[in-house]
Structure 1
Amino acid sequence: MLMKFALVGLSGVGINMVVYMYFIALNANYLVAACCSFAVAVTNNFFWNVLWTFRGRAENRSITKKYLSFFIISSVNLAVNLLVLQLLVEYIQISETLAQLVSIALVSGLNFLLNYGITFSEKRCKQEKEASVSYEADCYTNLQ
């Protein structure tokens, strides 16, 4: 599963960097470029993770709930990415493109852990199923 997440992430990095460099070529601010490239890459990553990486997980949650969770987690990672990016560009003076790659690499692990544990969590699904089965059993027992 981690390998699949990494492959999806690599496709997202590719998309992110193409969009990022496009906006940089248009003389956009590097932080604005990072936000725009994030929006495109996060949607790509979500769909590939739903269809391939985490296929069949968290089936009791709607696609909308999964996307909102994925987007919120990714937004938190974007905030961390932007802080690291700004630190690397303005204080360490790394090129904007290399700094973006380094920033993405640094937040990828956090992104996997949060999405695995929250967005596509099986534990939460099993607990919800067990609670409903327990409730149904209690209701049946009380009817007798």
Structure 2
Amino acid sequence: MRNISELIKFSIVGASNTAVDLIVFFSLWFVGTPSLSAQVLSYSAGMINSFFWNRSWTFQAKGRVEAGEVLRFLSVNIAGLSISTALLTILSGQPLFISKMIATLAGMAVTFIGSRFWVFRSNRRKSI
């Protein structure tokens, strides 16, 4: 049951990351920031949001944020992005919506499993 709860929370955080990304991107773009710069900044804002909400709420990690934890988080997110981008490329002959959904779900699976079992594993709240 805890796994389902974590997956639901992870999905809610993911939706908030998307909202942060879009708000930051279009706010920067509206004031004249080039789209590539806006993309890097907005994606980074979404990742920061993801790290803190997933750490504290989804996986309930306790204690100080450590450099290793941040590096593991970045590694997992780069892996998720790489897999989703590769799948989107491989499935390019399929309808875009279907390709995007498959790629997104695969990326989400990688980041959820990596976050749960590797990124936040060492300082999670102990279950009773």
Question: TM class, shorter-chain normalised?
Answer: 0.5 to 0.7
Of Structure 1 and Structure 2, which has the larger fraction of its residues in helix?
A: 1
Q: How far apart, CA to CA, are the structure 2 residues paired with 1:122 and 1:39?
A: 24
What is the CA distance between 1:11 and its match in structure 2?
1.3
Aligned to 2:49: 44
Between the two proteins, what is the percent identity of the paired residues? 24
Q: How far apart, CA to CA, are the structure 2 residues paired with 1:35 and 1:83?
A: 20
Aligned to 2:109: 109
Q: Is the 8 A contact 1:34 1:82 kept in 2?
A: no
Q: How far apart, CA to CA, are the structure 2 residues paired with 1:63 and 1:41?
A: 20
Mapping of residues 87-102 of structure 1, within 5 Å: 87-88=90-91, 90-94=92-96, 99-100=99-100, 102=102
Code of the residue aligned with 2:108 in structure 1: it is S
Q: How far apart, CA to CA, are the structure 2 residues paired with 1:99 and 1:17?
A: 21
Aligned to 2:87: 84
Larger radius of gyration: 1
Q: Which runs of 5+ in 2 are unaligned?
A: 1-5, 28-32
CA root-mean-square deviation: 4.0
Q: How far apart, CA to CA, are the structure 1 residues paired with 2:114 and 2:46?
A: 17
Q: How far apart, CA to CA, are the structure 1 residues paired with 2:72 and 2:42?
A: 19
Q: 1:84 to 1:70 in 2, by over 3 A?
A: same
Per-residue CA deviations over 1:69-107 (Å, capped at 9, x if unaligned) read 10111001110111122234x322516xx7545522332
Q: 1:48 to 1:76 in 2, by over 3 A?
A: same
The count of residues paired between Structure 1 and Structure 2 equals: 118
Could you tell me the TM-score, scaled by structure 1's length? Answer: 0.57
